[in-house]
Structure 1
Amino acid sequence: MASWLPETLFEIVGQGPAPSKDYYQLLITQSQIIFRWWKISLRSEFRSAKPGETKETHEDFLENSSLQVQVALIFGAKILDYVSNLCKGKLDYLERLSDNLLLKIIFYLDMEDISRLSQTSTKFAKLCKSDPLWEQIVQTACDTITPDMRALAKDVGWRQMFFTDKIQLQRQICRKRQKQRQAKQKEKQKSI
């Protein structure tokens, strides 16, 4: 199964904690950890500082406490835990699936499970609230979707459309039509 993985397992970039302006990159491949830094300073003694790079095997990284402390200071404890797990071979295969495939899977969940899944990570929160997912859900729940409904969904989002009752939807569609008519009348008056 590891052969299905891309060469780069994880990559993150960031700036050092204040007052530092230094820039860092952490790259995890299937075989090594690459930690890069660029000194950014207005002070004359650091202007000629060259970028640096450290490469470690996964095993060496797990034993290098000073590099782990640097990673935690720059990127946070959660990133350090995630990187440590990657180095130990604990890969999150679900996280590596494409968003389109995950959306197809999520579509088959019931509403309660979608709500629970959205609380597991920021990635799943984003996917569970995404317009493509809720457009599919609305299309399955409704017999027909009118162009007015599509236009309203473009304004308020498909998720909001799903949770809004029919009477409110009809009112919103009527308001949208009135605004469009008023805009057309104003354009006609300007052209006259």
Structure 2
Amino acid sequence: MSEVMLRVARPSDAAAIQRIYGYYVDNTAITCEVVTPSIAELTGRITKTLEKFPYLVATLDERVVGFAYVSPANPRAAYQWTVETSIYVDRNCRGKHVGTRLYDMLEELCRRMKVVNMTAHIVYPHDDQPDQYLTLASPKFHAAYGYRLAGRFDRNVYKFDKWYDMIWMEKAIAEHGHDPVPIVNFNAIKERFFGE
């Protein structure tokens, strides 16, 4: 049986990422985008993220089957210890622990970078009932990973002719101590994990 492998994303992965992400844009309310980004746009996002933060892909038999990255929760300096996570798995690879592998690595990298808080912003059914565009899989996945509900925003998202709520979940991965050390750039630690 093939093993899921992880590596740092490359600009050349943009087409594979577009293939995975486009399904969620077109068919689900999981993402708030309503038009699938172009390959050029996704290439730019990968490049921009990797200037400071991890952007990972999971491969199975050398085929990209998932991706995950973190970005600043807010660009202002006092927020630097808090990141927002994003993760998407090829719909045909669910149940193969792709998401788990990606999240395990993201969390470890964030610890090494001195991140304190990881957050997830998740679209949620306003009436608490899943529909054809949105399941409860993401909040359940995050809760199982130790994330807790931190807030809920009433009908912030409109997609597929329907209003959805937005929930924020968070997980502290380090102590909230006095005088935290500045965030370490991902590029300063990636070699020990990926040999790059």
TM-score normalised per structure 1: 0.23
**Higher-RCO chain (CA-CA 8 Å, sequence separation at least 6):** 2
Highest Rg: 1 or 2?
1
**Larger relative strand fraction:** 2
Give the number of the structure whose residues are more often helix, by fraction.
1
